[in-house]
Amino acid sequence: MENLSFITGVIGNVISILVFASPVGTLKRVVRKRSVGEFKAIPYVCTLLSTCLWSFYGLLKPGGLLVLTVNAAGASLEAIYVAFFLLYSPKHARIKLGKLVMALNVVLFGGIVAVTLLAVRGQQLRLTVIGVMCAGMTLGMYASPLAAMKTVVDTKSVEYMPFSLSFFLFLNGGTWSIYAVLVRDLYIGVPNCIGFLLGSAQLILYMVYKSKSKTKNKAGEEKKEGGSELMVDAEMQTNDDQHEQLQGRDKKMVSLLKEKSITKPAVDGRKSLNKIAKSLSMSVCELRSDWFLQMKSTEAD
């Protein structure tokens, strides 16, 4: 039984560390942009408090080495995340975040440790006090995806509920539930059993709405493509109309030119040539006399 519980605890350690390491992608974006943007630090601060409490519980509990190791690793990762948020947040946000970290992770956690060690008598009572607090924090962690589940039902899309996170929460809750049954630890078992059920519900929702999300996206793409085709057809029709208008305008211009050429009086080319030749063959006196005779005839008329 001890060997089985140890193996299950090791598997739980690996899965939990993967869950704790899931925000590394977010951290990379923060470092690359040198700004936290719209990301919130409160979940990391609360998870830091939770892992610190579980680490303390693992120290108090006999045979709680696996609980201590996984939560100590998680606390270290969460402390790094919070430190980067403090580094890359604006000045006013950095001050608020610093106050929150001091209030929860220093004052509150230090007060819980001090009161438990100094005021609470008996090992079992101490485990009960810290175990109840840890169970409550873990329930809050597992209940946080409920908002995402509501969004999935409302939008009928799994866009806002990543499969990998839901899958690892499902595995994490299931593994630690088995571990809790093997070591008979109620404080580990209750929250992780509820987390296992919530993870199962998330996976069921994902399977139900995944196909609907694909159908919705496909319909949106077809609608977009159909709209593009209609725009292309309309543009082609417009071009054809413009081409027909231009052809009609050209035909009108050609017909107008023909009409002008028909109505313009024709010029007798032979008379014009004879007149030019006659003018060139006359002398100066003849030209003057010819001009004089033309003037006389004009006056007589």
Highest mean pLDDT among 25-29, 90-94, 105-109, 202-206: 105-109
**Residue carrying the six token digits 């028909």:** 262
pLDDT for residue 286: 45
- 196-200, 227-231, 277-281: which has the minimum mean pLDDT? 277-281
∠ at Cα 138 (172, 130), nearest 5°?
120
Give 164's contacts (C-beta < 8 A, 6+ positions apart). Answer: 22
* Reported confidence tier of residue 243, pLDDT bands at 50, 70, 90: low
88 to 20, 81, 149, 204, 294: CA distances (angstroms): 21, 11, 31, 38, 107
Burial class (CB in 10 A: 0-12, 13-18, 19+), 202: buried
Give 129's contacts (C-beta < 8 A, 6+ positions apart). Answer: 116, 120
Residue 142: closest CA among 16, 21, 57, 26: 16
pLDDT for residue 10: 93
Residues 177, 157 contacting (CB under 8 angstroms): no
Q: What one-character DSSP code corresponds to residue 266?
A: P
pLDDT for residue 1: 64
pLDDT for residue 283: 43
Gap between the Cα atoms of 114 and 38, Å rounded: 36
Gap between the Cα atoms of 211 and 295, Å rounded: 106
Q: What integer is the mean pLDDT of 27-52? A: 88
Longest dimension (CA), the chain: 153
**Residue carrying the six token digits 């109620």:** 186
pLDDT for residue 167: 87
Q: What integer is the mean pLDDT of 133-157? A: 82
Residues 27, 79 contacting (CB under 8 angstroms): no
| Tokens matching residue 133 | 């607090």
Give the residue, 49 or 267, on which the prediction is more confident: 49
Give 79's contacts (C-beta < 8 A, 6+ positions apart). Answer: 48
Gap between the Cα atoms of 116 and 124, Å rounded: 11
